[in-house]
Amino acid sequence: MPDVLDLSQSPPLTQLSEDERLLRANVRAFAEAEVAPHVREMDEQAAIPRALIDQLFDLGVMAIEIPETFGGAGAHFFLSVIAVEELSRVDPSVAVLVDVQNTLVINALLKWGSSDVKERFLPRLASDTLGAYALSEAGSGSDAFALTTRAVEDADDFVLSGRKLWITNAREAGLFIVLANANPEAGYRGITAFLIEHDRPGLQIGKKEDKLGIRASSTCELLLDECRVPKANILGELGRGYKVAIETLNEGRIGIGAQMVGLAQGALDHALAYVQERRQFGTAIAEFQAVQFQLAQAQTELEMARLGVYNAARLRDAGLSVLTEAAMAKLFSSQVAERVTSLALQLFGGVGYTKDCPVEKLYRDAKIGQIYEGTSNMQLQTIAKQIMQPRG
């Protein structure tokens, strides 16, 4: 008989270290004190004030994994997940700004940046510069590598021309990671990642999208018209941009999972408080078994989604593959977020359908989780491909 694996000493995934508990408490307090009073105004104006972004830098959540030598916190990926989750309980728009900064932009520079790139850009990202990640185009959504943006070599530079769409943080960003094809004949093996500063000639921020949800988060097109970028600003190696994109997005999906878990928890918290107040037939609706069972189901699904996100984040910090786990975490958490926010809104009754109800916004915010950083169908395809492989 094989030995039985003793799991009695393994802590549960939701058990946090002292640093993780402290960050959760600090970010929660910040979100409730500094973000919550402005949520409706930011949603209506479709903008996050620069002063609030500066506060996020001061809080330390904009550079969680950047080493202390470059001005960051020198912490681990899981803390980014905690920060995104807690901010999302109050406003997923603010949370995705922090998420893109950490799980996409900084993550890519830490993994693929040369020593020179890190020395030039990480201190800025740690202090006051927001980053953005420009991959998508009009004809390359789920088919992310059908890029038409071109990069033509010219002496010590590459000259980029093309149009990127749906770029989160575009309006506020000071640095963009832009994917372009430097060798179209090689197909996806010609794709290269470039670092482009916002004030470089030939780069222009275009139309800002008028969105259903996460409205305060800027989503804009990025126009490149013979934008000259020095070869020293290549991220990774020439022709290796596809690998930069794939590996970065795998980890970015964990961050989106955290966003979905956080916003669902925020909606459920509102609902749990409201059912104690709302009275029908002479009693609080919290006393109705039907309501209790729906809330119990919602809390169960939400906790399972949280465990999936935490598991993927822990695996990433352990240096293990997260391809399948990240896809599962994003897929399930986005489904749960839609169901939980819908239930919460319904429990509010007619009030829930008005702008005065905070759940109305969270309901709108939830839908994007099944779309960006890989649609739900793309996550299913990734999971299916992995589980159908022969088992060793």
Residue 322 to residue 306: CA distance in whole angstroms: 16
**Catalytic entry in 85, 86, 137, 373:** 373
Burial (CB < 10 A; 0-12, 13-18, 19+), residue 157, is middle
What is each CA distance from 54 to 149, 151, 261, in whole angstroms? 32, 34, 25
What backbone torsions phi and psi does residue 46 show, to the nearest 5 degrees?
55, 50
Closest by CA to 251, choosing from 92, 130, 126, 110, is 110
Burial (CB < 10 A; 0-12, 13-18, 19+), residue 192, is buried
Closest by CA to 235, choosing from 222, 244, 227, 223, is 244
What is each CA distance from 140 to 44, 51, 91, in whole angstroms? 30, 34, 29
What is each CA distance from 72 to 57, 76, 107, in whole angstroms? 10, 11, 13
Residue 194 to residue 192: CA distance in whole angstroms: 6
Contact at 8 Å (CB) between 95 and 81? no
Q: Is 373 a catalytic residue?
A: yes
Residue 56 to residue 63: CA distance in whole angstroms: 10
Active-site positions read 373
